[in-house]
């Protein structure tokens, strides 16, 4: 057991965790030479590859000079923070990755706080030191200040530092050292990460941190054996969150090596493993020996902060593009998601066809919806709403986000003004070495709905904005809606170039010529603040009289492409996003024009 090291790699989104793991897999020769390693190999599902982010924590292990290093790659986005919290319970230390230019970001602070609370002593890796504008010395000072702000103890403050470039494939202990490989980082892990202190002789005790679903063996629980030994065929007892104890039999055991799960006959204390045969098991539960049931404390999971109503698609185009349409099929899919996505909550409503789905943020919910749509589901979702709470005096509290903005000086004033209008509060302003400004705000979560696209426009696409949930604070008052009205299709039909050419002067279009639309569908953003019912299907009246030049080709501006996130951010309280495997449409909740006016 002295040759095992258990670590998690934690960092803010896009600071290079997954790329660094690629290099460790290659240089330790864990992935055999004939096998081609894809870029960001640990990001295994399509959504992760497309978005360039890690969504689900994943385990790997490398063998190096007689040592076995179990590594957990964690998500860097705040909406998936629940994953990070759980896997930190499995490890003995963390590699805290920080970008050599950006320095500590909101998620760096979040994951570091959780690590320090668990008593872990991090190894700091200043990554991307080959960036032309890198400032590793300054970033090291910022990291030290962050440790101080989070009240790290003396041992944690004396953290080891490694300088690295995941993309360049090298690491150094000092900036002036020469290096062409990752050896200094691997040596630092062996030296500074303590070996497991678990007891292999005692009665079995294993805690589950995360889940995967396997179509052959069913639910697979991933966790760490803290005590004892487990073999295939053993009878065990799992202790549930509510205290109930359920007997089960182990049908499969897996270890990890490189990108693969490896079948194991036996696992023992100190190792991170996967177990099959425990139907219905959830993260945080403990697997114990039947004659010695000794559950570990449950892993606390942060409560959701944002909810939306997810319902069956009842538009005139329902059932034309998807395979799964009914409320029963949607409910079954949500129940399957709850088996592995523990930060998610699903509640029923008075209407059988609608469910309230709550999560850690817009991204958390939109990733689920995107996965469902790719599987062939059709559905509609409402505008996201924040989840309010009350303190002991009955005072209304709302979720607040910590927002960090990096932008050129010319645009900083506009950003400050816009976020102030959204009840944001500027708490810090720093000047970077390249004359950009770093602004820190505390903004209500609801104030950020729909702001990201506005922010990119205001900063001409050059600004960077990061957010992280900071906690609940007293309600900050009503927000003024800043969106204009919309253009609504009058009736069902196919749009025509002739009609859209006249309408594009009234605002921005979300549809193009020859596209089917229905009455009540939103086809564009109006240039004024009132909603406008229009007829995009109008055809040109043909007559035998022609004016000179009247038949010249009409030119339409390109339509605005609505992504799922953009659409969810765009809608107001009386609107829905209709989602099918091949389309994203915006619509009014009430399609009938006269009923909508009356309401």
Binding-site residues from annotation for GTP: 14-19, 127-130
Q: How many helices (H) and strands (E) does the chain have?
A: 14, 35
What b-and-e string marks burial along 220-239, b requiring 16 or more CB atoms within 10 Å of the CB? Answer: bbbbbbbbbbbebebebbbb
Starting at the edge strand found earlier in the chain, the sheet holding 252-257 runs 245-249, 235-239, 286-288, 205-214, 218-227, 272-276, 252-257, 260-263
- What token pair was written down for 501? 């050419």
Secondary structure of 509-556 as H, E, C letters: ECCCCCCEECCCEEEEEECCCCCEEECCCCCCCCCCCCCCCCCCCCCC
Inter-CA distances, 139 with 109, 110, 440, 476, Å: 14, 17, 17, 34
Bridge partners of residue 443, in order along the sequence: 401
- What token pair was written down for 105? 């970001």
Annotated binding-site ranges: 14-19, 127-130
Nearest to 65 by CA among 166, 179, 190, 163: 190
End-to-end CA distance of the chain: 69
- Is residue 375 within 8 Å of 324, Cβ to Cβ? yes
Q: Is 218 left (phi over 0), alpha (psi -120 to 50) or beta?
A: left
Alpha-carbon distance 309 to 384, whole Å? Answer: 8
- Is residue 125 within 8 Å of 162, Cβ to Cβ? yes
Alpha-carbon distance 159 to 380, whole Å? Answer: 49
Alpha-carbon distance 282 to 246, whole Å? Answer: 12
Alpha-carbon distance 150 to 498, whole Å? Answer: 62
Residues 6+ apart with CB under 8 A from 593: 488, 490, 519, 520, 533
- What token pair was written down for 429? 């302003």
Nearest to 469 by CA among 203, 186, 194, 84: 84
Secondary structure of 337-392 as H, E, C letters: HHCCCCCCEEEECCCCCEEEEEECCHHHHHHHHHHHHHCCECEEEECCEECCEECC
Q: What is the CA radius of gyration of the chain?
A: 27
Nearest to 357 by CA among 377, 247, 275, 44: 377
Secondary structure of residue 479 in the 3-state scheme: coil
Nearest to 199 by CA among 227, 224, 225: 227
Bridge partners of residue 346, in order along the sequence: 357
Alpha-carbon distance 57 to 80, whole Å? Answer: 9
Secondary structure of residue 431 in the 3-state scheme: strand
């Amino acid at each position: 057991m002295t040759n095992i090291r258990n670590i998690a790699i934690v960092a803010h989104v896009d600071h290079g965790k997954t790329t660094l793991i690629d290099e460790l897999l290659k240089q330790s020769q864990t992935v055999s030479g004939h096998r081609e390693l894809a870029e960001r190999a640990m990001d295994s599902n399509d959504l992760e590859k497309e978005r360039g982010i890690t969504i689900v924590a994943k385990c790997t292990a490398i063998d190096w000079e007689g040592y076995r290093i179990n590594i957990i790659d964690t998500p860097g986005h705040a909406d998936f923070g629940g994953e990070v919290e759980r896997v930190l319970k499995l490890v003995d230390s963390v590699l805290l990755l920080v970008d050599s230019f950006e320095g500590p970001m909101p998620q760096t602070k979040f994951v570091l706080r959780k690590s320090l609370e668990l008593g872990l002593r991090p190894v700091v890796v200043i990554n991307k030191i080959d960036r032309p504008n890198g400032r590793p010395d300054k970033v090291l000072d910022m990291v030290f200040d962050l440790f101080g702000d989070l009240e790290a103890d003396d041992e944690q403050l004396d953290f080891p530092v490694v300088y690295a470039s995941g993309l360049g494939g090298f690491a150094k202990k000092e900036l002036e050292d020469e290096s062409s490989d990752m050896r200094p980082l691997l040596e630092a892990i062996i030296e500074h990460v303590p070996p497991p202190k678990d007891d292999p002789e005692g009665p079995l005790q294993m805690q589950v941190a995360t889940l995967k679903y396997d179509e052959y063996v069913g639910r697979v629980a991933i966790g760490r054996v803290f005590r004892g030994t487990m073999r295939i065929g053993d009878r065990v007892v799992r202790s549930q969150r509510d205290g109930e104890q359920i007997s089960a039999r182990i049908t499969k055991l897996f270890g990890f090596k490189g990108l693969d799960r490896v079948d194991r006959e036996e696992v023992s204390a100190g190792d991170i493993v996967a177990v099959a045969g425990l139907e219905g098991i959830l993260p945080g539960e403990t697997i114990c020996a039947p004659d010695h049931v000794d559950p570990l404390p449950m892993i606390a999971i942060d409560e959701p902060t944002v909810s939306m109503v997810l319902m069956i698609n009842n538009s005139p185009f329902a059932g034309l593009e998807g395979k799964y349409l009914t409320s029963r099929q949607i409910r079954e899919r949500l129940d399957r998601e709850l088996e592995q996505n523990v930060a998610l909550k699903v509640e029923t409503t008075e209407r059988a066809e609608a469910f309230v789905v709550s999560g850690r943020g817009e991204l958390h919910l939109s990733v689920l919806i995107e996965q469902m749509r790719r599987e062939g589901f059709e559905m509609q979702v409402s505008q996201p709403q924040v989840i309010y709470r009350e303190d002991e005096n009955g005072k209304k509290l709302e979720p607040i986000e910590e927002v960090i903005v990096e932008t050129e000086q010319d645009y900083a004033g506009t950003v400050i003004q816009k976020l102030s209008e959204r009840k944001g509060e500027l708490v810090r302003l720093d000047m970077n070495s390249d004359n950009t400004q770093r602004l820190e705000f505390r903004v209500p979560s609801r104030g950020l709905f729909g702001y990201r696209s506005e922010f990119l426009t205001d900063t001409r696409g050059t600004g960077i904005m990061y957010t992280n949930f900071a906690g609940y604070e007293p309600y900050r008052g009503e927000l003024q809606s800043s969106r204009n009205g919309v253009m609504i299709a009058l009736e069902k039909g196919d749009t025509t170039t002739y009609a859209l050419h006249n309408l594009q002067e009234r605002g921005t279009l979300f549809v193009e010529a020859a596209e089917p639309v229905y009455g009540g569908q939103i086809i564009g953003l109006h240039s004024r603040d009132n909603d406008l019912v229009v007829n995009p299907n109008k055809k040109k009246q043909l007559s035998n009289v022609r004016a000179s030049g009247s038949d010249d080709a009409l030119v339409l501006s390109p339509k605005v492409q609505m992504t799922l996130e953009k659409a969810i951010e765009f809608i107001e309280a009386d609107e829905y996003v209709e989602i099918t495997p091949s389309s994203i449409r915006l619509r009014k909740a009430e399609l009938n024009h006269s009923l909508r006016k009356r309401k």
